[in-house]
Structure 1
Amino acid sequence: MITISNRIKLNFKWHGAAFITAVLVFILLSFLIESQHQKYKAEEALKTSIYANLLWTKVDRELNSLLFISNGLTSYITVYQSELDPDKLKLILKDLWQHSMNVRNLGIAVGYELTYVYPETNNRAVIGKDFRNIPDQWPKVKQAIDTRQGVLDGPVDLIQGGQGIIYRYPIFIDGEYWGIVSTVIDTDRFLKAAFKNTPNKHEFAIRTADTGKVFFGDAKLFADDSTYKQASMVPNGKWEWAIKNHTPSFTNQIVTYQIISIIVSLISGFLAYYLYKDRYRLSEDAMLDSLTNLPNRRLLKDRMEIAFNTAKRFQKMMAIMAIDIDYFKHINDSYGHDFGDEVLKAVALSIKSALRDTDTVSRVGGDEFIVVLTEVSSLQNITAIATKLKSEFAEPIAILEKEITVHLSMGISIYTPDKAATLKQIAKEADIALYQSKAKGRNTFTIFEQS
């Protein structure tokens, strides 16, 4: 018999099992999601790295084609310097400029003064300028001279207006500084040409490493921790890239997966709750009589052993009561087995309601019932319980719209601390007392007495 307190404990146990199941499922799914997340992040980083290298390859190819102009012009001047005149230099500059789509203008400084510029249109303002007097440009010019190597500068604000990337290459003749060649690259046209036919699944920005000035893309990308960042070397300098992949990926969908994992965890918890509950019901069904829902022989045996061992250990009384329904065969024969089943259920309910929560009533077969009485303090206490049971059936009971008189025969065996008896003996004594009640004419109870 499941008491209210036991039912509360069981519900708490089922809910606890459901909660633990839900938590474990959530932890497992979270681990799997995070594992996949890390895997996709690595794959995404690899794809972005490949894309970054593709971008740089395009920029580097376009840049080298432009830098070749300065290097070639420098070599030409170094070799043929003694044969050059202003008109010849201007023709060379014109020819080189016309074959370079992304070059804004070319310039040659003799010493530190910008002497030749092509085209002169819109660029006359720079002719005659001394680099040493141009604070924004002099450091890179000086670096090129000091290192005797080409230096990429900018984008910088140009004296003649606008912006451009300037490649400076110094000219040394017989070991002595002669001048410097400047190739001013149109930044917008250069980058558009470099990134032509490039897949637009990524957003990216470029800045110079020394100044941090962003000259392409959104500067916010450099502050975004989720962007891929890479540095590329340019002549005597460095450009930094920030690239963000905008294609749908696992990372973009991780919130959705987390919501799904929560839903799956909750469903798992609910399933666990009902599975544990059904499992308990199945185990409970294995312990209960299918007709009356009372404990069957299997559960009765456990209850009897617990009651007997407890009484023996704590020096207390306990009793076993064997009960039969009087003339039950006659009821079955007269009204049918279905009616008889209803009688059994009604009798079981009446016996159960007359007992205490600490007592156990079991149907052990046919019309036979066994009651285990615990926490009894005296013979009078046991007699009072038996009398109450008898009085429960003093009036006819209604079964399927019929009134029928039902009586019980009862046999009682009592265990006392001073009694040297086994549980089996006590159960047998209850059966003997039951037969004595039947011999007396039924509808009574008999307490076993040792003869």
Structure 2
Amino acid sequence: MDRPYLHAILNLYPSAQPDNMRISKAIAQSANAFLQWLHEKTFSQSFAVSTAALVFLAIVLSTEVLLHFHEREAISERRAASLAFASQLRARVDRELNAVLYLSSGLSSYLVVRHQQLNQREMRDILATLHGNSRHIRNFSVAIGHKVAYVHPLVGNEKIVGIDYREITAQWPAIKLAIESAKGTLTGPVQLLQGGTAFIYRTPILVNGQYWGLLSTVIDSHSFFDAAFREIDSERYEFAIRSGNASSAETNAIWGDMALFSDSTATRLEVEVPNGKWFFAVRPRQASGTSMLVWIIRIMGWLLALLSSVGVGALLRQRSELARHAGFDSLTNLPNRRLFDDRLDQAIRRHTRNENQQIGILFIDLDDFKEINDRYGHKVGDITLRTTALRIHDEVRISDTVARWGGDEFVVIIEEADADLMNQLTERLRQHVGKPFEAEGKIIEIAASFGSALYPGDASTLASLLELADQRMYTEKQRHKDVLP
């Protein structure tokens, strides 16, 4: 819509006129074109549906705004309390996690220093000592390369001794991430080979910048969360935890109902963990109730919105149908000859106020359209007419009128026209209309004949204008027939 208006403004009047006069006339012409377009839209089915929808939405939104305005402060207070609870959870998780990680950090440093002098007894004693001083560690395991060489405690963990991590399909991606990133990585909950689930903190051992082995600290999830969430006010709040890392979009459920993360009212918080994140979602268990009066007002508001939108929509659709039957062609949705006459009369009246401009009439007739109907059937013929109508409409300005004159004939009213503009438009239409298209699985090619005339340059009356343009069209059509074999 903007392009035709700009075109009209730039081309309406000669540059010899004063700037303020040219601008005023350009604005007036653009306003006329816009009002004509708006007038047509008010009679369309889409306008009826859109208006009904707007009425419905306006009433519903007004109702909801009035109902929820007084709840904003309460919602803010609940969110602040949920955020405080989530921060408390994060602090407790950080406390318990740090208690575990510092042991792994010390052990990994020992392995870097002693990697060439390791022996079974020394490793057994060190692992036993660290395990005895820990709160949540289920077991330690040390892999040299990718094969597990040391495990403590051994009882209950015999299955993992000597195993190659690359053979554990379910765990290998997380192990590979820790090795390739050269960072300690917390994963889980993990299904252990020796049974049960736990978190695993894997620390790659780097010697002189090269991978030497992997320290795995298996954390008892039940012990960990029992300590972290002891004395938490779980009666007032429900919460869930899931994990994720920067290298993957996947998340793993850790604690609680994962549906909380889909609840827009839940408060969310992130916690940085080694080479990843934990996400918390917190929601009060008991939100403030909605009173019966609020529900009554809401239902009445929605019913009023529904009844009003249905009534407005029905009225406008009836008006649209009446207008369409009176002024538009049912096949192409273009103005029919009756509406064309009205548009042309309006254009002539505008011309009387600005006699420096001309009005162009362009007739378009499809060549050999009857053969398409006879060969492919009337359904393909109808598609051809609709396609042609759309292509013509695409090439003209919004201020111009495209109408179906009858049968396979169309006519265009072009205001502010001249001979050059008419020739350019004719050539554009000739190219665009003649492009092949598909209809019912068949490739259709069609040509058209054109005839144009200008008022008052070529004809001084409407009757002679239409007759001249029509005559020129049929003259071209005859030339087309003469050149055919």
TM-score by length of 1: 0.49
**Greater C-alpha Rg:** 1
TM-score, scaled relative to structure 2: 0.45
